[in-house]
Amino acid sequence: MDKKERIFDAAHDILAEQGFHGLSIAMVAKQARVATGTIYRYFSDKEDLIRLLYRHTIQQCHDLIMSDVDIEETTFTQYRQLWLNVHQIFASDPNALTCKLQYESSPLACELEKDPVILALWEPLDRFYERGRASGLFIDLPIRVLQTLSLESAAQLMQQCRVHELELTDTQREAVIHASWQAILQPSTSLPGICS
């Protein structure tokens, strides 16, 4: 693993444990086993490190979320795979959810979400929702609202499971996926046998 990758890994772990205010360049350098000056070769300051860590994390997550998905097909099968992929990210990395919450509540949140690199990465997913909306399959709501009602449920579910020490069965998880899909469908849209 190269030095920059070690720095990102260390910053990710510290962010999950200490939050933005607890994260310092010195702590990251120590955990990454690099000199403090090395970090400044890659990042101008702590905020730059956070911005680029977020971009790096989203780039990694993007590939995992899109795995085994034909994003040009707006179907329940593709949505289910997207949901499972999102869920797997949070299930496999205990720090992922904590870091997500840190980013969303940080002063940099709006700036991070509007990063052109990140917007370009999520453009195919945005098209998935736009096609569903344009075809009348999905409720006519803004894309971010549709995403909140659907895929965001994977992160919210993981948070509730962690806080309340819940463990869902596969059947219950499938019911959540179906319910989150139903939440964005036009009320007149029905898929026979979808919940059977």
Q: Please, which residues have CB within 8 angstroms of residue 39's CB and are 6 or more apart in sequence? A: 7, 25, 28, 29, 32, 49
Calculate mean pLDDT across residues 138-154: 95
Give the whole-angstrom CA distance, residue 97 versus residue 54.
13
Residue 177 has pLDDT above 50, yes or no: yes
Per-residue pLDDT band for 190 (boundaries 50, 70, 90) equals low
Question: Does any domain span residue 91?
Answer: yes
Give the whole-angstrom CA distance, residue 71 versus residue 126.
10
Question: Does any domain span residue 34?
Answer: no
Give the total number of structural domains in the chain.
Answer: 1
How confident is the prediction for the chain on average, in pLDDT?
A: 91
Question: Does any domain span residue 188?
Answer: no
Angle at alpha carbon of residue 141, lines to 140 and 147, rounded to 5°:
125
Q: Residue 178's domain spans which residues?
A: 70-182
Give the whole-angstrom CA distance, residue 194 versus residue 171.
13
Question: Does any domain span residue 93?
Answer: yes
For residues 97 and 88, the model is more confident at 88
The secondary element (H helix, E strand) that includes residue 165 is none
Model's pTM, two decimal places?
0.86
Question: Does any domain span residue 125?
Answer: yes
Question: Does any domain span residue 43?
Answer: no
Give the whole-angstrom CA distance, residue 81 versus residue 23.
34
Question: Does any domain span residue 22?
Answer: no
Question: Does any domain span residue 195?
Answer: no
Tell me, what's the pLDDT at 196? 35
- Which domain CATH number covers 140? 1.10.357.10
Q: Is the CA virtual torsion 43, 19, 7, 50 positive or negative?
A: negative
Give the whole-angstrom CA distance, residue 107 versus residue 179.
33
